[in-house]
Amino acid sequence: MKACNPTNDINSCFIQSALQNRIVGHRIYHYDQLSSTMDEARKFGDSTETEGLVILAEEQTAARGRFDRRWISPKYENLAFSVLLKPTIGQLPYMNMAASLAIAKTVREFSVPEITIKWPNDVRAKGRKIAGVLIEAAMESEMLHYAVLGIGINVNLNVSEHSEIEKIATSLFYETGKKHSRQVVFRCLLENIDFFYSKVISGKSLTAEWRMNLETIGKEIQLSWGNRILHGLAEDVDDFGNLKLRTKSGETITVAAGEVTSQI
């Protein structure tokens, strides 16, 4: 297996060289096709591989998002990759914050307006999803071995060609009207992930900044939580990013994970 294997318009060897002194991106494995970047990254989890390894694939035959949803990503148009990280268990709740803040910062740097984060992990432009985050952790007896951060970001996707998502998704291309260098976007995003992750491992909380970017706070929402459907006001998030929902009966429920299916 070769690291950084340049493919199409991304020279990942160049990016890897530029990020040698950083945690995230100091090693990049770049594949033309994989079943799943998440699964590939997990193979390195219990090895001696240092954290910050990035697995990038141009095509995934079994890609998945949250709740095992399929991510639509035509070859050579977007970015889909996973990052192997080794936070402490106390730092784990901030991985999602670091990733979504890094995406938001990156997309803004390419002049995409009205960027918000929909709790817990969708980054949106003008109310349409432009990127998503998936976190998987390997736990045993309450010990955290590693975490894998998965990111899919729409770069040059023409959403109008995909009827199943055109009303709910967007891309850098769709929002700015021009194609973007995926190599430039990829490097920028890795640098921003490294920036926020470095904050986390140095002991800083990302909650306040993440809260400021959340579009969900203050809205009446419908939330799918396990087998339950909850309705209420999204009042706030706690220090770990859990949503505080006040139901119509006046009860306050703290939700660690779920899906906001509608918001008003």
pLDDT digits (tens), the chain, 264 positions: 456 665 668 999 999 999 999 999 999 999 999 999 999 999 999 888 899 999 999 998 876 554 455 666 678 999 999 999 999 999 999 999 999 999 999 999 999 999 999 999 999 999 999 999 999 999 887 889 999 999 999 999 999 888 888 899 999 999 999 999 999 999 999 999 999 999 999 999 999 999 999 999 999 998 887 788 888 999 999 999 999 999 888 899 998 876 776 676
CA angle 35, 39, 45 (to 5 degrees): 150
CA distances from 258 to 17, 133, 224, 225 (A): 38, 13, 6, 5
Q: Does any domain span residue 145?
A: yes
Residues 192 and 104: beta-carbon distance below 8 Å: no
Are 198 and 225 found together in one domain?
no
- Expressed as residue numbers, the domain containing 250 is 216-263
pLDDT of residue 214: 96
Do 199 and 234 belong to one domain? Answer: no
| Domain match, 232 and 165 both | no
Q: Note whether residue 3 is domain-resident.
A: no
Q: Give the end of a domain, one of 211, 227, 247.
A: 211
Same domain, 234 and 158: no
Across the chain, which distance is largest between two alpha carbons, in Å?
58
Does residue 4 sit within a domain?
no
| Token reading at 132 | 């998503």
Burial of residue 136 (CB within 10 Å: 0-12, 13-18, 19+) is middle
Give 127-149 as a DSSP string: TEEEEEEEEEEEEETTEEEEEEE
In a shared domain, residues 158 and 228 = no
User: What CA–CA distances, in Å, run from 187 to 13, 24, 50, 103, 255?
Assistant: 11, 10, 19, 12, 34
> Per the structure, how many domains does the chain have?
2
Would you say residue 197 lies in a domain? yes
Pair 162, 226 in one domain:
no
In a domain, 26, yes or no: yes
In a domain, 49, yes or no: yes
pLDDT of residue 163: 83
Same domain? 113 vs 221: no
Q: Which pLDDT value is given to residue 1?
A: 44
CB 6 within 8 A of CB 15: no
Verify that 38 and 59 share a domain, yes or no.
yes
pLDDT at residue 210, as a whole number: 97
pTM here is 0.92
What is the pLDDT, as a whole number, of residue 28? 96
User: Among 211, 228, 244, where does a domain finish?
Assistant: 211
Cα–Cα dist 99/91, whole Å: 13
Q: Please check whether residue 5 lies inside any domain of the structure.
A: no
Is the CA virtual torsion 109, 114, 118, 124 positive or negative?
A: negative
Q: Are residues 153 and 223 in the same domain?
A: no
Residue 100 sits in a domain of what CATH number?
A: 3.30.930.10
> Has residue 2 been placed in a domain?
no
* CA torsion angle 213 214 215 218 (round to 10): -120
In this structure, the answer to whether residues 172 and 245 fall within a common structural domain is no
Same domain membership, residue 145 and residue 36: yes
Task: Supply the CATH number for residue 255's domain.
Answer: 2.30.30.100
Residues 220, 102, single domain; the answer is: no
